[in-house]
Amino acid sequence: GAGVSQTPSNKVTEKGKYVELRCDPISGHTALYWYRQSLGQGPEFLIYFQGTGAADDSGLPNDRFFAVRPEGSVSTLKIQRTERGDSAVYLCASSSSGTWGETQYFGPGTRLLVL
Amino acid sequence: KQEVTQIPAALSVPEGENLVLNCSFTDSAIYNLQWFRQDPGKGLTSLLLIQSSQREQTSGRLNASLDKSSGRSTLYIAASQPGDSATYLCAVRDNYGQNFVFGPGTRLSVLP
């Protein structure tokens, strides 16, 4: 596609529920990143994929968070037993090959609200 | 652990003014630094990417400088316009990981 797309754009859920957030990167981009942005803050890194594998998941806050990218394109961020503190905008980015000098292209984000 | 700060947190200027946004980072072992723009409810748009070996980058009315040894970058916006109103984020990619570390942003309002 022309850019990174994310669905849904907004998600409201209740505490304790399970949610899935989807990211569709730019076609052909092998590197994919998930970030979380709380109100008034800059994005915080969650996880980085190179192809199908998670090359760096050091930013995942706890084991309720999990992400997959089974075919090396679309990625899904999964949050179990959601908590009110999980409310944030979840941003996805992709880059061509993940090499050091590249820029990352960001999607519009999914705004998650946990009631 | 790399930390990025931005000053000021918010800035309001009349149209036509030149302005400077500041970014500081604690670990100078960076690979590159990037300035982004974020409009309300939208994702991030890349403005300028400066590699660690570079001192500055220019695009139109924007100029970004990098002083790696002192841990600072500035974004200069010339002849500001109301359409420049947005949050400006700087982010550094250090030598230890593939991800960016972001500052909290500067919220800019340019008044007509």
Q: What is the pLDDT of residues A61-78, one digit of tens each?
A: 999 999 999 999 999 999
Name the residue with higher pLDDT: B41 or A84.
A84
Cα B95 from Cα B12, distance rounded (Å): 35
* pLDDT of A31 above 80: yes
- The per-residue pLDDT for B42 is 82
- The per-residue pLDDT for A97 is 78
Torsion sign (Cα): B39, B42, B43, B46? negative
pLDDT tens digits for range B46-87: 999 999 999 999 999 999 999 999 999 999 999 999 999 999
- Closest Cβ opposite residue A100 in set B4, B44, B93: B93
- The per-residue pLDDT for B95 is 72
Residue type, A4: V
The alpha-carbon gap from B1 to the nearest alpha carbon of chain A, in Å, equals 13
The HSE-up count of residue B75 (CA atoms within 13 Å, CB side) is 31
The alpha-carbon gap from B66 to the nearest alpha carbon of chain A, in Å, equals 15
Contacts of B88 (CB under 8 A, 6+ apart): B6, B21, B35, B36, B37, B38, B47, B75, B105, B106, B108
- The per-residue pLDDT for A101 is 66
Q: What is the dihedral of CA A86, A91, A97, A102, to 10 degrees?
A: -120
Kindly state the tokens that stand for B93.
């990619």
- Closest Cβ opposite residue A107 in set B32, B43, B102: B43
Contacts of B64 (CB under 8 A, 6+ apart): B33, B35, B47, B48, B50, B56, B57, B58, B73, B74, B75, B76
* pLDDT of B39 above 70: yes
- The per-residue pLDDT for B106 is 97
**Beta-carbon separation of A101 and B102 below 8 A:** no
Which chain A residues contact residue B32 at CB under 8 A? 100-101
* pLDDT of A1 above 80: no
* pLDDT of A100 above 80: no
Cα A109 from Cα A89, distance rounded (Å): 6
CB of B73 closer than 8 Å to CB of B64: yes
What's the N-to-C CA distance of chain A in angstroms?
33
